[in-house]
Amino acid sequence: MGRKVAIVGIGHSKFGVRNDVNIAELAWESIKQAFESSNLEPKDIQYISVSNVGGWSGEPLPAVVVSEYAGLTGKPLHRVEAACASGSSAVFNAYNAVSSGQADIAMAIGVEKMNESPTPTVVEFIGRAGNYFWEFENFGLTFPGYYALYATAYMSKYGASEEDLCQVAIKNHYYASMNPKAQFQRKIDMPTCMNSRYIAWPLKLFDSSPITDGSAAVILASEDVAKKITDSPVWIHSIGAASGSANLSKRNDFTGLEAAQLAAKMAYKKAGLETENTAKYFDAAEVHDCFTIAEIMAYEDLGFVKRGEGYKLAKEGQTYIGGLIPVNLSGGLKAKGHPIGATGESMVVELTKQLLNKADKGRQATIKNGRAISHNVGGTGHYAYVTILGLDKPKD
């Protein structure tokens, strides 16, 4: 077993359409906050993992540009791409660097400037996040189209409705309205969601996450170093990672994501937790709600409830504060925004704040268990990462 690893610094930019900054300046907003929160400087960082999918932004080598702008040149540097799970992959790399002893202090930086390209270009690029020549070229599948396949299969098998999907959007907009870093800081109601135009039936505009610019940063440190930096570390208890087939026609089930299920089981095993009725372990969760159906499937893939019961959690309001398990108190990808390469780090930043009781007024979970969980999916279950955080130091 490797060394114990703690989060000692976090930073988060404003999400949205950020035409006011270039990609390096956008990343620096988060990097600067992470340095300030940890009282560290660029010279202290020994390894950097930058997550960025790119293609839609002007910089072909964003990691080196970001590193130079932040004064980090000369350090070991990797650029990470795992589609929408790139941010969690960067955290995973930084975690492994510290756990293995390759570095005492490492940094994961996620940044994306998606709005540098027109919407049709971004939609096409995201639609390629699978088996490009078979699915995109032959059948014209878009990213909303992929998740619409899952939504229709889930609704057909379990009886969920479009209104049940909208409950997820309503909740996430509610919490985003209290998050100053969110892209959409406004509440919505059922008629607003239900009357929005279809993107790929049954998914509507308000079932879908937006095109977003943003950044987030996380600094990790070994146990000995963390003790010198902070008296309130948040520990990484475990990270589970898995992947799925590129071609969706090779999958047996369209009511859940096998990669997410495998990643969850791995994370639970490493943390010494059971894999069923897992909501009892956590005070808050950040899950991958690129579309509302994705959040509902996440409830089940993570073992919060049994198969086919996820939509009932949304319908009964059990994922608000005070319910079975508060989910996406940041507003989620749906309303906080989804700058693809930065989403994984953003989840870790949010959960760190939640565990330390530093979330914004109105969206602070009650901390009893001292644990939180993030669920980050790339593509349509092509990649998956599940990360468990805790206030208590992990057991040997």
Consecutive sets of 10 residues in the chain, 396 residues long: mean pLDDT of each?
94 98 98 98 98 90 97 97 97 98 98 94 78 61 89 98 98 98 98 98 98 98 97 97 90 95 98 96 98 98 98 98 98 98 98 98 97 96 97 91
Residue 364 contacts residue 134 (beta carbons within 8 Å): no
Residue 65 contacts residue 59 (beta carbons within 8 Å): yes
Collapsing DSSP to helix, strand or coil, 304 comes out as coil
Predicted model pTM: 0.97
Place of tokens 């660097």: 97
* pLDDT of res. 395: 85
Question: Is 5-117+211-229 CATH 3.40.50.300?
Answer: no
Residues annotated as part of the active site = 84, 338
Pairing of strands 213-222, 105-113: antiparallel
Beta-carbon count within 10 A of 228 CB: 8
**Domain assignments of the chain as residue spans, ordered by start:** 5-117+211-229
* pLDDT of res. 140: 62
* pLDDT of res. 127: 74
Helices (H), 100-142: 119-127, 138-139
Rounded (10°) angle between helices 292-301 and 258-271: 40
Would you call 2 exposed, middle or buried from its count of C-beta atoms within 10 A (0-12, 13-18, 19+)? exposed
Using CA atoms, how far apart are residues 373 and 327, in angstroms rounded to an integer?
A: 10
Query: What are the CA-CA distances from residue 175 to residues 30, 179, 201, 348 (Å)?
Result: 21, 7, 26, 17
* pLDDT of res. 223: 98
* pLDDT of res. 375: 98
* pLDDT of res. 135: 63
* pLDDT of res. 55: 86
